[in-house]
Amino acid sequence: MTAPASRIYCSVDTTEIESARRIAGQVAGAVGGIKLGLEFFIAQGPAGVRAVVGEDGPPLFLDLKLHDIPNTVAGGVRAALPLKPAFMTIHSAGGPAMMRAAAETAATAGADRPKILAVTVLTSLDEGDLDAVGQSVPVAEQVVRLAKLAKASGVDGVVCSPAEVALVRAACGPDFILMVPGIRPAWAATNDQKRFMTPAEALAAGADHLVIGRPITADADPAAAARRIVAEIEASSGGTA
């Protein structure tokens, strides 16, 4: 697997086990891992995750965006540890105590612990949306504020849109993981993402991992679509991404 391919997590957005297994099998070796989210988890639970990823399957990004009181979020992380996810998400808006509880619980898994990523501002939101919920600040300012709070609370990194990657990297340093959705190859539709960027642009800005869903999964040949994205990255970066 090439270096750019290893940095891509394919977002498998379905409630159907067989559909998820088929996509996971098709992109195996063409991407770095599989992201399963709330929709799939509610429909199929931990058993469904195991059916898709398996014991020796691709790295799992379990994107549940936990947001509750600290004890409940800690319990949610603890319950997910047997699935051995590489990454899990919580909401940074849950506050420092909640984020610390998640990070401390993840650490109990030792070497197999998941990296805890805090969601900053969803990529479907813009400043009008923030204003509507009483956060009358620029999106970029809110993202950086939440990212710095997450780092201070002991989590491993954040989920942020490509538009804020460079700002978060500058604010939080080189060792803070940036998982970046809102990625659309030059040839793909933007769908419901309001803050998006091409894969090569996001990596150049400082992203560590890219979350890419429909441009891969909606293609008649998901593996070919993933390889096309990797080729686009390599063409833009000289193969050094």
Question: What does the buried/exposed string (b/e) look like for 125-136 if buried means 16 or more CB atoms within 10 Å of the residue's CB?
Answer: bebeebeeeebe
**193 assigned to a ligand binding site:** yes
User: 202 and 168 in contact (C-beta within 8 Å)?
Assistant: no
SS3 assignment, position 99 = helix
Is 194 among the residues known to form the active site?
no
**CA–CA separation, 185 and 198 (whole Å):** 5
Q: Which domain range does residue 68 map to? A: 3-236
What's the pTM value of the predicted model, to 2 decimals?
0.91
Q: 């931990």: which residue's tokens?
A: 46
Is 65 known to sit in a ligand binding site? yes
| Candidates 63, 84, 115, 151; catalytic one | 63
Comparing C-alpha atoms, which of 36, 42, 77, 81 is closest to residue 60?
Answer: 36
SS3 readout for 60-88: EEEEEEECCCHHHHHHHHHHHHHHCCCEE
- Whose CA is closest to 58, among 9, 103, 99? 9
Active site residue 219: no
Q: How far apart are CA 44 and CA 241, in angstroms?
A: 35
Spot the catalytic one: 56, 68, 131, 192.
Answer: 68
227 is in an annotated binding site: no
In a domain, 10, yes or no: yes
- 209 is an annotated ligand-binding site residue: no
Judge whether 56 is annotated as a binding position.
no
Is residue 241 in some structural domain?
Answer: no
Check the annotation: does 213 bind a ligand: yes
Which comes out higher in pLDDT, residue 134 or 155? 155
**For 170-222, what is each residue's pLDDT tens digit?**
999 999 999 999 888 877 655 555 556 889 999 999 999 999 999 999 999 99
Cβ atoms of residues 136 and 80 within 8 Å: no
User: Active site residue: 65, 148, 208, 219, which one?
Assistant: 65
Most distant CA pair in the chain: distance in Å? Answer: 47
pLDDT of residue 235: 87
Q: Per the domain annotation, does 87 fall within a domain?
A: yes
Q: Position of tokens 């319990």?
A: 75
Whether 157 is covered by a domain: the verdict is yes
Number of compact structural domains in the chain: 1
- Is 48 annotated in a binding site? The answer is no
Of 179, 36, 69, whose CA–CA distance to 120 is shortest?
A: 179
Q: Is residue 134 part of a domain?
A: yes
On whether residue 166 sits in a domain, the answer given is yes
Question: CATH number for the domain including 84?
Answer: 3.20.20.70
Residue 130 CA, chain-centre distance (Å), reads 21
Q: Distance between CA atoms of 66 and 64, rounded to whole angstroms?
A: 6
Residue 149 lies in a domain: yes
Q: Crossing angle for the helix pair 17-27 and 38-53, nearest 10 degrees? A: 60
110 Cα distance to chain centroid = 22
pLDDT at 240: 54
> Would residue 18 count as lying in a domain?
yes
Is 61:9 a contact under the CB 8 Å cutoff?
Answer: yes
Is 66 labeled as ligand-binding? Answer: yes
User: 94-151: per-residue pLDDT in tens?
Assistant: 999 999 999 999 999 999 899 999 999 987 888 899 889 988 899 999 999 999 999 9
Give the per-residue pLDDT at 172: 98
Q: Encode pLDDT of 16-47 as tens digits.
A: 999 999 999 999 999 999 999 999 999 999 99
115 labelled catalytic: no
